[in-house]
Chain A
């Protein structure tokens, strides 16, 4: 078997003026994990859609195991052994795992669904690949990471030999990501070929054997991952030098701007509070970073400070006590907030950019006069933000959702920074944002700090927290369990605290493991060599962490789907 499992030759795809794929060649060997990298809009998804038969190339050929093939539909590609997990899940939440897996290829007995045979087939796959789920589990009750495994099961059930995963980790916690990678490595060892579409450098270095980078529809680099440096990948993606691990100079903190004392938020389940007696302060001219595995109370903490969640305890901005006040009053008192979820909370995706940027400024002059909004002033206001923060948009009247993720984020960032509020709460500022745009966003946050504002930063990317923050707090199970000044912020110690290993010391083995759970962030900070070590160090601790965060996500998802069904 010397023939490559997948060979794309000279693929060209044009959408009107846009050349999405420009003579792309891609060779993927059997049994390897091949990372396809590139920024948003580089043509990765187009190329994969062509391989999966969703799009037809304008030119070029596809060969599987050396045999030329032509796919005019996904059904043809599936029949040829290609499977694709698309971005966002294509699952039926109300149905059990087994129904999701067999859907479209159901085993029957005398015309009726043969659930017994289906369950047996699914159980067999689950066992063979060491997945952690039961065929009878309702998908809506499963954690996000496990749902991803259901997607993979669907492919395996259809006997796919080439698995395409399009940005599979966008919705996963670091621990879930590590679990996914374990499954992928296992599949590759089993003779499956995996094509991983991603724009995250640390994922490429952690899991792939070979990497191909696309930029503006062209292949800019391809080669074995082990022989490729992170800087090389980054410049192949962006077309310029990018300083990935830049650590910004410390700020010059002044007076306390935000003080939180004894803040407690009730948890969903009785017993454990989501935020448990947290006290912290952020000074003017200081960025305080909160690190932690997702689901340890960071989201709730920020929501409570912003007034979005009821909480006990005290929150003061400057001299002003905020407890008991609503969101608008808190904002007026000097809070700005860039929420984690820009599509749901941060912006109205269907509304115009102008309207989105006016929100929060709409209750007072110059946008409001005599009870009426002034459309001219709104437009000027929007244009000013678009200009200053370099938001790339078709125009101020374009609906928010037509902007790329990075540009949406820049717009929201711009809106909130424009408030010049003394205290900024910012969550996951660069999630889903291109590497090129990340640096810009970081620079803006640092500039905001240096202008004398206080910033409370929550990020799942440890490298981001380490690079930006003047002080790092670690949250675990709703509590602040450790605090590190910038000079003492060490990825390993922080990783240990994130896994609940602080403040009491825990044996060295666990430290390794917990760092593995936070592989994403640690890899970013620790540099190429160490990243591999850390990525491989998946032990039981990180799996336990996965269990924890998993529990939280499930709750959300299950309730959401319940509402949808009703």
Chain B
């Protein structure tokens, strides 16, 4: 039931969530509540498959996904920053648009409905890490993932470095905490917000590429299946801290892998597919209970 293969598949499962959640955390830190992760990731999935298919190179596919995610997030950036629209309303719109847009494009581009896959569609190859792969258990768990999995691991400390050790990170956190104070010190709040939304779009594009070219090698309608929403929860659970977000994503990755494993012992697929969402719900309960108790202590002490 619990073995190296379970953890290995958990690592694959958590990567799209982690990349999207890092995007969400970055935006959160600059004061943008980004719920468009789901839709942007889906656009990334489609662009990744299309790029890979037409160029014959999976790396062109990954790049296409990254660029498409960035471009698609422009909608949110222009809407919330330039036109001061509501991030939630726009986020919902962006997510709905992504589902419709990719369903439409799969028909016009690939001429099929529902899903597209082909044996010749190039996908991400597993990367074996020398030395590490020979270590028992650890080698089996950690080695042999797609390059994007390792990219996501590196992205966590990189984000931490940017946020806490670079001037740009200090400014960004200030923009999120108190935009008017940041502005009064000559920091261009809007530019920072554009920056994080677009960077977040790029990360979501990569998340989509990993999902459609790494975890599987295909595109199907609405294939993100709520992973972007789980990422939103991971941002909240991890309190938008890079390592916190990593921990939350690991939790969800494990849940997904474990749910898949439960199918093996004969539980109906519908039930096991629900595993990550059940964990999400539980996590939300715990999170809000903790929040409430914190508020309660506050109320009794303040007044």
List A residues at the B interface (Cβ < 8 Å). 73-75, 78, 86, 89-95, 99, 102-106, 108, 111-113, 154, 268, 303, 308-309, 555-556, 559-560, 562-563, 566
Contact = CB atoms under 8 A, between A and B. Distances in A.
B168 to A, nearest CB: 9
Given A90-B180, A90-B184, A309-B303, A103 B171 contact: yes
Contacts of A103: 170-171, 174, 182, 185, 187
Nearest to B165: A112
B170 A563 contact: no
29 contacts: A73-B186, A90-B178, A90-B180, A90-B181, A90-B185, A91-B181, A92-B177, A92-B178, A95-B177, A103-B174, A103-B182, A103-B187, A104-B171, A104-B187, A106-B167, A108-B167, A111-B166, A112-B165, A113-B166, A113-B167, A303-B303, A555-B302, A559-B298, A559-B301, A559-B302, A560-B302, A563-B295, A563-B298, A566-B291
A74 B178 contact: no
A547 B303 CA distance: 21
Contact of A104 (B186, B294, B298): B186
A92 B187 CA distance: 14
A49 B243 CA distance: 42
A92 B186 contact: no
Contacts of B180: 90
B192 to A, nearest CB: 12
Contacts, number: 70
Contacts of A303: 303
Given A104-B171, A111-B166, A113-B166, A94 B177 contact: yes
Contacts of A95: 173-174, 177
B170 A99 contact: yes
Nearest to A265: B303
Interface in B247-303: 291, 294-295, 298, 301-303
A560 B178 CA distance: 14
Interface in B177-211: 177-178, 180-182, 184-187
Nearest to A115: B165
B172 to A, nearest CB: 11
Given A92-B181, A556-B302, A75 B186 contact: yes
Contact of A92 (B166, B174, B291): B174
Given A103-B187, A111-B166, 19 more contacts: A74-B184, A86-B184, A90-B181, A90-B184, A93-B177, A95-B173, A103-B171, A103-B174, A103-B185, A104-B171, A104-B185, A104-B186, A104-B187, A106-B170, A112-B165, A556-B302, A562-B294, A563-B295, A566-B295
Nearest to A86: B184
Nearest to B294: A566
A42 to B, nearest CB: 23
Contacts of B171: 103-104
Contacts of A268: 301-302
Contacts of B170: 99, 102-103, 106, 113
Nearest to A73: B186
A78 B186 CA distance: 9
B301 A555 contact: yes
Contacts of A106: 167, 170
Contacts of A78: 186
Contacts of B173: 92, 95
A102 B177 CA distance: 16
A105 B273 CA distance: 51
Contacts of A105: 185
Nearest to A154: B185
A74 B186 contact: yes
Contacts of A75: 186
B186 to A, nearest CB: 4
Contacts of A92: 173-174, 177-178, 181
A99 B174 CA distance: 9
B65 to A, nearest CB: 29
A487 B133 CA distance: 92
Most chain B C-beta atoms within 10 Å of own C-beta, residue among A92, A93, A562: A92
A104 B182 CA distance: 8
A467 B247 CA distance: 63
A268 B167 CA distance: 38
A391 B188 CA distance: 40
A75 B187 CA distance: 9
Contacts of A566: 291, 294-295
Contacts of B184: 74, 86, 90
A89 to B, nearest CB: 8
Contacts of A555: 301-302
What are the 10 A-B residue pairs with the smallest beta carbon separation, nearest first? A90-B181, A104-B185, A106-B167, A75-B186, A90-B184, A92-B177, A112-B165, A559-B298, A559-B302, A92-B174
B234 to A, nearest CB: 17
Contacts of B294: 562-563, 566
A93 B174 CA distance: 10
Contacts of A104: 171, 182, 185-187
Contacts of B303: 303, 308-309
A95 B174 CA distance: 9
Contacts of B182: 103-104
A89 B187 CA distance: 16
A566 B295 CA distance: 9
A29 B166 CA distance: 40
A223 to B, nearest CB: 32
A289 B173 CA distance: 46
